[in-house]
Chains A and B, each alone.
Chain A
């Protein structure tokens, strides 16, 4: 399936200048979806209908896991009179990912509108927008945008005369990768160390402050007004069938024109690298691609022919969509150094709660450092692979898996480079 990407009109990246100014956003038809929903909430846009529309549209979470957003909303239990929350995940800490900040900076009200509609659908009283602490400039943009939305009557008490009250608060992280994990994010919002929680109970049952909570990625929520404006049927036709809609592709590494680009899902990887991002720098050849943030398995250049950026195609190719933060590596990249740096990251970011992760990430880094420095032995490679299987699936959250996958796949897919750095393992034979 070919996408006419050259004539694609972006929906999240604004056409018509920066839309951070609420007036500019409204002039472009902003907050129309919200008004329609609140006007017709007794008839057409009941909460159930909004949830069904988002479910039918097939919107899958843009934070990495790719779960159906509408379906996630439908997990919220019936109201019991107590508080309910929506948490918007703008932690954006997966290395290679830098897309939500484009929404904060250039189209924050699209997200705010989507979050209000989401909060209405799941009957949440408040939305907590969690943004990584490093994004201080973008936190300021968001605080201003939220204040403007309050002033315009889209947030607060009795929104647009509907009798519905929804508050929105911006919360700054303070430097912890793990807080992008949804239960860790909730712990952090509760003012604690970001230790992931054991599931069940799931957030919809017991989330923020013990109350029903849904956590959605910023980009996922920004898609909600688009769905309501164009209709679920039309949205579902955009891009890949099982993974539709527009996506912000964050392209970085050795390309001529890196940056955040918006296209439908299902874009050919080769189109994105060569036609969108201008090809590999300095006339070099492509060596490898990390398709969706550091934890998604690396693909060799010969593995990407005909592969498109959507869950199914990438799974067949042996990787994952993740956050669509694509890192492109040229032929000169040293895969041993590269993998060592990724393992250093995961060791640094392991919260330390579970032994397989706390110890495992440390050993991965230590052994890779030894290999990087030329002191490795051939058997260390198999030791590393053995370690990864002992980490995966044995911890509270997926950080151990995220740390193990790059090691396993980089070694198996570039084994010759690792072997070239290792000595033969010598055993005494006499």
Chain B
């Protein structure tokens, strides 16, 4: 990862329009803190101190408040992360279905531990708490977005091969067993 990478964090006109739309959903500006942090993270990839400062000045609320919120919620990245963050669930439903085996397999494969980022800045691994996919364990989530369920070593291999070429895994629709289709 490049350290002290020079990057200026600003919101452009379109961003400010989106942020105004977010503000309109709530009776107070403070309520926009979380969605605007999300917006910023989607744009910049993280919400480090400088991004927090930008969010605070944009919303005209204390920077300490934004910092407090950003640090309370685990999904906000307070520092630069790898391009793809693999959140491997090891909470108990995944634990009893091999979640740790999958985590350790990914750690070995990428040569880093949970909480670390590969030197090329491509991957970070995190050990995640319950992600709400207990029936489809073991599973992981890619950069706060798509879920990859029913993990196997083969599935991890092809997922990581894909991500190396910036091919995101596709959303997996899992039908409830009782859902009766139209036909």
Q: Point out residues on A near B: beta carbons under 8 Å.
A: 10, 13-18, 83, 92-98, 101-102, 105-106, 132-137, 169, 171-177, 188-194, 209, 250-254, 257-262, 294, 325, 327, 329, 333, 337-338, 341-342, 345, 348-349, 351
The 7 tightest CB contacts between A and B, nearest first, are: A174-B73, A252-B134, A175-B75, A191-B33, A95-B130, A175-B74, A258-B135
Q: Point out residues on B near A: beta carbons under 8 Å.
A: 25-28, 30-35, 37-38, 65, 68-69, 72-76, 90-93, 95-97, 129-137, 141, 144-147, 171, 173-182
Q: Chain B residues near A260 (CB, 8 Å)?
A: 135, 176
Shortest Cβ distance from A141 into chain B, in angstroms?
10
Whether the Cβ atoms of B75 and A191 lie closer than 8 Å is no
What's the count of A-B pairs with C-beta under 8 Å?
174
Q: CA separation between A238 and B147, bound complex, in Å?
A: 35
Q: CA separation between A192 and B96, bound complex, in Å?
A: 35
Q: Chain B residues near A133 (CB, 8 Å)?
A: 38, 73, 75, 144
Shortest Cβ distance from A124 into chain B, in angstroms?
13
Picked from B145, B173, B176, the residue with its CB within 8 Å of the CB of A13 is B176
Picked from B72, B141, B177, the residue with its CB within 8 Å of the CB of A259 is B177
Whether the Cβ atoms of A176 and B74 lie closer than 8 Å is yes
Q: CA separation between A333 and B98, bound complex, in Å?
A: 11
Whether the Cβ atoms of B75 and A137 lie closer than 8 Å is no
Q: CA separation between A134 and B74, bound complex, in Å?
A: 10
Q: CA separation between A201 and B141, bound complex, in Å?
A: 38
Q: CA separation between A349 and B130, bound complex, in Å?
A: 11
Q: Chain A residues near B30 (CB, 8 Å)?
A: 190-192
Shortest Cβ distance from B32 into chain A, in angstroms?
6
Q: Can you list 22 A-B contacts (CB < 8 A)?
A: A18-B179, A136-B146, A173-B73, A174-B73, A175-B73, A175-B74, A175-B76, A176-B72, A176-B73, A177-B129, A190-B30, A191-B28, A191-B69, A209-B27, A209-B28, A250-B134, A250-B135, A251-B135, A253-B93, A294-B91, A327-B134, A345-B130
